Amino acid sequence: MTETLANLALGFSVALSPQVLIYCVIGCFIGTLVGMLPGLGPLAGISLLLPVSFGLSPTVALVMLAGIYYGAMYGGSTTSILMRLPGEAASVMTCIDGHAMARQGRAGAALAIAAIGSFVAGTLSLVGLMLLAPPLASLALKFGPPEQCALLVLGLVVLAAMGGGSVLKSLAMTVLGLWLGTIGIDQMSGFFRFQFGLVELGDGIGLVPVAVGLFGIAEILASAGKPQLERPRTPAFRELWPSRREFADSAGAIGRGTVLGFLIGIIPGSAHIVASFASYGIEKRVSKTPERFGQGAIAGVAGPESANNAAACGALVPMLALGVPSGAIPAVMIAALVVHGVAPGPTLIQDQPALFWGFVAAMYVGNLVLLAMNLPLVGVFVQLLRIPYAYLYPAILAFCVLGVYAASQSAVDLWIMAGAGAVGYGLRKAGFETAPVVLGLVLSPMLENAWRQSLAMSDGSYAVFVQRPIAAGFMLAAAVMLAWGMRRR
């Protein structure tokens, strides 16, 4: 405990430095905008701003990207409550009772409870992250290539099985991403795979053009031309304080949402989305007045909003402790660390204590910043929603082009972005989720190296994956998850 507190003190000395603070505030502000604006989710927002982070130190870059991720969770609730329009997918459940409250003139209370619930959940989940990640990383240090390989297989299978859609489609998308990750020069033999006459592909297909294309461009293609949104009414500052009854009704929901969200967040999958749906279901079940859900029950706002923020924090546990992303957003954040020369994995906490603890402390600060920023500035953020989408989407497209080019200085990546956008749009129309493609792309080199190293150390015996107890446990868990996922459909 003393060691944890000493490490946290080190973290706050990093987080409270002027540069980290400034970028934490910038990240939270941009994240709130990204979460509010339809057509820009946290993933597209983080991907777009990845190149901007290249000139920063790894700690500052990670703090800014996490601020965007977290801020988007906060921002998504504003449009859900005021306009019944989820800025991002995790805010869908908030629409139901949040907007019903807004129609009854209680928009301010709904916004306040969403912000307070997010703050409480985010802060408590950070304690979980702080206590869980270091021992998990110590355990993972005992892993060799077979355990790493089995863990990655488990992560990919769990993501496919826990996702919202068809398991078969998710697995196909994962394998597509894994194949995209094999393009470029093979790290073990130096062979150029799938060159297609382009020297630029030597380093492989970049994560940024694929992520921006699949999420940013595909969203623009699907959203452009949609009718103009209704103009929201901004609640006055004095309307923001919830009543004593509303506080009492929310307290339990916030507590349950926090625990549930954090636990779901650790499991790979679209954690924050699953968490908010699950929390809404639980709140309705435990409520003494379930008939009020859908009519403006404040627990229907407090639970899902707390759960999605706690899940966002929980998703950082496997990312920071094991170097294994539990979804597409942590995958992009891992890519940012790699670009900065930081090796993600169990050694991160040991080798880079200032980065890990600085990041944890900056998240505490970021939570406070978001609480302080979101309620008083709600009017300012709402003004941005009045820009017609016909003017907004060309600007978003321009930033996609700018972000992708700035990341690599290569026009080939712009073609990849446009291609990924077209493919992403087509896949969306056919009912496929595209997040597994990104996760497969990121994990592919790690998985292939771990597989080939395992075979090298076992003299070519595939039994190495079932003879070592931890690897066998992961493989068994993967098989069980796969069978469960297939049976569920």
Partner 1 sequence: MSADRAAGLVLAALAAGIAAIALAELPMGSWARPGAGAAPLGLGLILGGFGLALAWQGGGAWEATDRAEAGRALAILAAAGFAALAFEALGYRLTMAAMLAFLLLAVERKPVLPALAWSALLSLGSFHAFSVWLRVPLPRGPFGF
Q: Which is nearer to partner 1, 254 or 423 (CB)?
A: 423
CB 308 within 8 A of CB 301: no
Q: Which residue has the tokens 């060309």?
A: 394
Q: Which of residues 219-248 bind partner 1 (CB under 8 A)?
A: 220-222, 224-225
Q: Which two tokens stand for residue 307?
A: 């759960």
Q: Of residues 429, 463, 480, 483, which one binds partner 1 by CB under 8 A?
A: 429
AA identity, residue 428? R
Contact code string over 97-136 relative to partner 1, x by CB under 8 A: ----------------------------------------
If one asks whether residue 200 binds partner 1 (CB under 8 A), the answer comes out as no
Q: Judged by CB under 8 A, which stretch of 150-158, 180-188, 293-301, 474-482 contacts partner 1?
A: 180-188
User: Residue 55 or residue 341: which is nearer to partner 1 going by CB?
Assistant: 55
Q: Least CB distance from residue 165 to partner 1, whole Å?
A: 10
At its nearest, how many Å lie between partner 1 and the CB of residue 388? 9
Specify the DSSP element, H or E, that contains 160: helix 145-162
Radius of gyration of the chain measured on its C-alpha atoms: 22
Q: Looking at 66-207, which runs of residues are DSSP E strands? A: 184-185, 192-193
Count, residues in the chain: 489
> Shortest CA distance to 217 belongs to which of 440, 403, 73?
403
Handedness of CA 181, 182, 185, 186 (dihedral sign): positive
388 CB neighbour count, 10 Å cutoff: 9
Nearest approach, Cβ of residue 405 and partner 1 (Å)? 6
**Beta carbon nearer to partner 1, 445 or 473:** 445
Shortest Cβ 401–partner 1 spacing (Å): 5
| Contact between 67 and 26 (Cβ < 8 Å) | yes
Task: Tell me if 169 contacts partner 1 by CB under 8 A.
Answer: yes
CB atoms within 10 A of CB 195: 14
The strand pair at 184-185 and 192-193 is best described as: antiparallel
What is the rounded (10 degree) CA torsion for 85, 86, 88, 94? 170
Question: What is the closest distance, in whole angstroms, from the C-beta atom of residue 233 to partner 1 in the complex?
Answer: 26
Contact status, residue 414 vs residue 209, Cβ threshold 8 Å: yes
Answer for the pair 109, 298: CB distance below 8 angstroms, yes or no: yes
- Site for partner 1 (CB under 8 A): which residue of 14, 217, 275, 342? 217
Give least dist CB 221 to partner 1, A.
4
Nearest approach, Cβ of 28 to partner 1 (angstroms)? 19
User: Which one among 16, 26, 428, 466 touches partner 1, defined by CB under 8 A?
Assistant: 428
Contact 155, 291 (CB under 8 A): no
Count interface residues toward partner 1 (CB under 8 A): 62
Nearest residue (CB) to partner 1, 222 versus 251: 222
Q: C-beta of 178: minimal distance to partner 1 in Å? A: 5
Q: Residue with structure tokens 């990750």?
A: 181
Written in H, E and C, the secondary structure of 175-237 is HHHHHHCCCEECCCCCCEECCCCCHHHHHCCCHHHHHHHHHHHHHHHHHCCCCCCCCCCCCCH
Contact 12, 368 (CB under 8 A): no
Nearer to partner 1 by C-beta: 18 or 431?
431
Residue 126 zone, left/alpha/beta (φ > 0; ψ -120 to 50; rest): alpha
Q: Please, are residues 209 and 402 in contact by the beta-carbon 8 Å criterion?
A: no
| Shortest separation between residue 61's beta carbon and partner 1, angstroms | 13
Q: Does 470 bind partner 1 (CB under 8 A)?
A: no
Backbone angles phi, psi at 456, to 5 degrees: -65, -40
Site for partner 1 in 366-425 (CB under 8 A): 390-391, 393-395, 397-402, 405-406, 409, 411, 414-415, 417-418, 421-422, 425
Residue in 318, 186, 330, 309 with CA at minimum distance from that of residue 254: 309
* Min CB(433)–partner 1 separation in Å: 12
Q: Which of 142, 459, 469, 487 binds partner 1 (CB under 8 A)?
A: 459
The smaller minimum CB distance to partner 1, of residues 143 and 451, is found at 451
- Is residue 339 a contact residue for partner 1 (CB under 8 A)? no
To the nearest whole angstrom, how small is the minimum distance from the Cβ of residue 295 to partner 1? 30
Under the criterion CB under 8 A, does residue 448 sit at the interface with partner 1? yes
> What's the closest the beta carbon of residue 50 comes to partner 1, in angstroms?
12
User: Judged by CB, which is closer to partner 1: 231, or 429?
Assistant: 429
Residues that bind partner 1 (CB under 8 A): 51-52, 55, 166, 168-169, 171-172, 175-176, 178-179, 182, 186, 188-189, 191, 193-194, 217, 220-222, 224-225, 390-391, 393-395, 397-402, 405-406, 409, 411, 414-415, 417-418, 421-422, 425, 427-432, 448, 451-452, 455-456, 459-462
